[in-house]
Amino acid sequence: QVQLVESGGGLVQAGGSLRLSCAASGSIFSINTMGWYRQAPGNQRELVAAITSGGSTNYADSVKGRFTISRDNAKNTVYLQMNSLKPEDTAVYYCAADRPNYPSDPVAEITYDYWGQGTQVTVSS
């Protein structure tokens, strides 16, 4: 079993920064790709960023140049550094992890086998 716990969310002004963390525990040897999704009220959950075990990354067009995903395998933790935040970034952010199985497309939601509870990010204007 794998558990994911997000932290680092909060309330910031437009133009500010936050760093989200997601710590994995349990059967940590059963994780390949990790990703961040977000969901705003009335919207579908969307991919923000993903990172494979080898370090390859994917980003939503709306966050390229502003957000950076990284991981520390020794700490079993994935991070999302969010800079130049905009009000439209307001959402619940979810951490997700993929087991070494199929499907395995990093940008497909169905790929992910484990999900955190989410952390709220609110950006005021």
Tell me the per-residue pLDDT of 34-88, one tens digit each, with 9 for 90 and over.
Answer: 999 999 999 999 999 999 988 999 999 999 999 999 999 888 899 999 999 999 9
- Region label for 75, one of left (φ > 0), alpha (ψ between -120 and 50) or beta (otherwise): alpha
Phi, psi of 109 (to 5 degrees): -60, -35
The average confidence (pLDDT) of the chain is 94
Question: CA dihedral in degrees (49, 21, 24, 108; nearest 10)?
Answer: -10
Burial of 89 (0-12, 13-18, 19+ CB in 10 A): buried
Check whether 102 has a pLDDT greater than 90. Answer: no
